[in-house]
A and B are shown apart, each in its own frame.
Chain A
Amino acid sequence: DAKTTQPNSMESNEEEPVHLPCNHSTISGTDYIHWYRQLPSQGPEYVIHGLTSNVNNRMASLAIAEDRKSSTLILHRATLRDAAVYYCIRPGGGADGLTFGKGTHLIIQP
């Protein structure tokens, strides 16, 4: 079972950084960590993925713990458009058929 654990919800203020945690204590050495987000009434959207070292792209940064049992998605300056459900995912289906949990509902206050 490809399990990750995330808080059900988090709240942050606009223009402040947001740190979304994820625990994946049973992850194997070759499993990537993937993050997707889902805005209301839309399909999920890819955010970032990584294996061991920290990763950055135009949307976010991903900080992976040295033991790989946890990771943190960092939104450097949240906007109202970042309000969404954020999913931290390990591989679980066939050939990258990712298994989603319930995710973290991120609320951004103006």
Chain B
Amino acid sequence: DTGVSQNPRHKITKRGQNVTFRCDPISEHNRLYWYRQTLGQGPEFLTYFQNEAQLEKSRLLSDRFSAERPKGSFSTLEIQRTEQGDSAMYLCASSLGTGYSPLHFGNGTRLTVT
């Protein structure tokens, strides 16, 4: 169990640029989740996948946000035309998805939009 891996750890971008983050879940986990966390707040659920199917995306913050998990393994989260308000920690989690299985989180990608 190598844990959930997220890259990059930090990303600084200028307003208006597009950014993409990658998440590699624990290998046998078929569920993958994206969260956003701003300073002083708990993580905010964005979307999740069951294998390659995106089963919940109504919580994505705007149509500038999109996520993919093309082969049911790693996932990417893209933010288009970034805004300063997008500055946050973006967290990925995975779980086995059978019965209740705990979420295993990565250490996140910190995005700073200047």
Contact = CB atoms under 8 A, between A and B. Distances in A.
B103 to A, nearest CB: 7
A15 interface: no
B40 A102 contact: yes
Interface string A44-73: 111001000000000000000000000000
Contacts of B107: 41-43
Interface stretch (B48-56, B65-73, B80-88): B48-56
Interface residues of A, number: 24
B43 interface: yes
A34 B95 CA distance: 14
B45 A97 contact: yes
A108 to B, nearest CB: 20
B42 A100 contact: yes
A94 B108 CA distance: 21
A43 B48 contact: no
B5 to A, nearest CB: 11
B48 A103 contact: no
Given A96-B95, A96-B100, A43 B42 contact: no
B42 A93 contact: no
Interface of A: 32, 34, 36, 41-46, 49, 85, 87, 92-103
